Amino acid sequence: MFLAYLLLIVLATPFSASWPVKIVFWGFSLFLYWILTADLGFRIYDLRFNRWWLLLPLAILITSRLLPFFHWGDFPLGADAAIYLKDYFLPPLIIYSLYLVSNFLLAAAVYFLVKKNYGREAAFFSLLIFSLSLSQFLFYWAFLPKMMLGAIFTLIAFYFLKDKPWLAAGAIALTGIVHPPAFLPLFITTVFFLPLKALLALILVLLARGQELLSALYYSEQYLRGAPETAFLFSGQFVDFDFYAGLLGLLYIPFAAIAVTRMIQSKKITPLVLYFLICLILIFTNFLFHNRFIILFDLAAIILAGPILKDFVLWLWQSRLGKLAVVIVIVIVTANAFYQSWLTEPLINSQELTEIKSLAKLDPEAMIVAGDNLYYSVLYGFSSHKVITSGELNGLSAKIPAYIYLGRRTKDKEKVIHRLELLLSQNNKIIKVSEKNEALYRITTEPTGGTSD
């Protein structure tokens, strides 16, 4: 059991985490394993659930989700919001309200799934973890509504999987329709638990979405070969999980790992445990959408960690020192969650929005190239011009005026420009900086003589 637990902890440790974080995380994991498995008079008091307890995680959840709106104003979350504003002709208030509701529905799905499998007390602790999770806040902040729906349908599928498999099959199918990456680990998991007829229905859904999944596999291969400009939409690399690599983003992983190793030891692999392991494998192998799978892995960890955290907290609650430790940890983690929520900048700031909206003064036939993939969504949403990625540069016509946009927060701008220059040189095109806008670069055709015009 210990070796399995140790392997899970090592695999779940982010490569990008600093060595001090890794050492503290591994030390805490070993301490927790020793406490929960050693014969130390570990006694758990009975706990009577009180519905008023739910006010704590709900207050944390609502506050952390609303703080960005108070700090950053009209455009506080991910750049994809611009796409929905343009494509669905809905005002920002409606778009953000629906998104907030979907995040609260995901929290409710976590609570009711844990309640059904482990009881109300464990459900409270899972909901508390969800409200404090930095990874789940980043998921919300990145504004990924389709994946949010996919995650909700995933948890609904697990809720009905044992008792009402046909309803579970329907939820799995909806996951595939809404968000194929979320469908992949769910489908692999449920293959082992669904009746044959329901499984055949799901295979039909898989075939219907097969072209998109094959395209994703192709672009993932391009990404692994070093061509991120053609693959960013499929790799998930634009979801930056620096929060996950921090110590406070990893604290509940050992609780989930203990739950998994206990299941393995008892030779009882539940669907949630298998799903946890599949997501971990997809992350560790850097499979396509690997950053997106961190979100799903984190959800599974939150669900599995709740019952173990409940036992640990109740054991600590037997002494005054233990109670003080629990209160201090909750205060620190809550303060950190609010701090990160307040300080996390939107992907697009007000100055960049002004720059992008000023592109309306360009020739209506002009084409805008997103030199940095970070800005593709907002360029598409707020520009009246056609917007393409840098991977489509070679298809530009010399007759159409074209500009490359690089935002103020583009990292290693000189390296980006050099890479784009190499791409353009293949078609005798060069880059010239626009005099009126430092973020805009005009693409021109190189004269026959070899000098710029």
Q: What are the pLDDT digits (tens) for 290-304?
A: 567 888 998 999 999
Phi-psi label, residue 27: left if phi above 0, alpha if psi -120 to 50, beta otherwise: alpha
CB atoms within 10 A of CB 259: 23
pLDDT > 50? residue 120: yes
Local confidence band at 210 (pLDDT 50, 70, 90 cut-offs): low
Q: Identify which has the larger pLDDT, 285 or 154.
A: 154
pLDDT > 70? residue 11: yes
345 contact partners, CB below 8 Å, separation of at least 6: 72
pLDDT > 70? residue 227: no
Tens digits of per-residue pLDDT, 32-64? 888 877 654 555 555 666 788 899 999 999 999
Q: Identify which has the larger pLDDT, 233 or 166.
A: 166
Backbone angles phi, psi at 162, to 5 degrees: -85, -45
pLDDT at residue 188, as a whole number: 87
Pairing assessment for the beta strands 386-389 and 367-370 based on DSSP bridges: parallel
User: Contact, 192 vs 274, CB < 8 A?
Assistant: yes
Work out whether the CA dihedral 118, 122, 124, 129 comes out positive or negative: negative
* Cα-based distances in Å from 250 to 35, 92, 112, 135, 256: 18, 33, 23, 9, 11
**How big is the chain by its Cα radius of gyration, in Å?**
24
Q: Which amino acid is located at 174 in the chain?
A: L
Phi-psi label, residue 289: left if phi above 0, alpha if psi -120 to 50, beta otherwise: left
Cα atoms in the 13 Å half-sphere on the side-chain side of 174:
17
- pTM assigned to the model: 0.81
Q: Identify which has the larger pLDDT, 396 or 309.
A: 309
- Could you report how far apart the first and last alpha carbons of the chain are, in Å? 70
Backbone angles phi, psi at 231, to 5 degrees: -130, 0
How does DSSP assign 202-215, residue by residue? HHHHHHHTHHHHHH
Tens digits of per-residue pLDDT, 78-91? 767 777 877 777 78
Report, in this order, helix, strand and coil percent for the chain, each rounded to 5.
65, 5, 30
pLDDT > 70? residue 170: yes
pLDDT at residue 19, as a whole number: 82
pLDDT > 50? residue 199: yes
| C-alpha to C-alpha distance for 157 and 115, rounded to whole angstroms | 15
Write down the domain spans for the chain: 2-144+239-343, 350-445
Backbone angles phi, psi at 384, to 5 degrees: -85, -5
User: Ranked by mean pLDDT, which of 4-18, 142-156, 227-241, 399-413 comes out on top?
Assistant: 142-156
Angle at 395 between CA 389 and CA 397, to 5 degrees: 115
Tens digits of per-residue pLDDT, 339-379? 888 887 777 777 777 778 778 778 888 888 887 777 887 88
| C-alpha to C-alpha distance for 385 and 359, rounded to whole angstroms | 8
pLDDT > 70? residue 440: yes
pLDDT at residue 212, as a whole number: 57
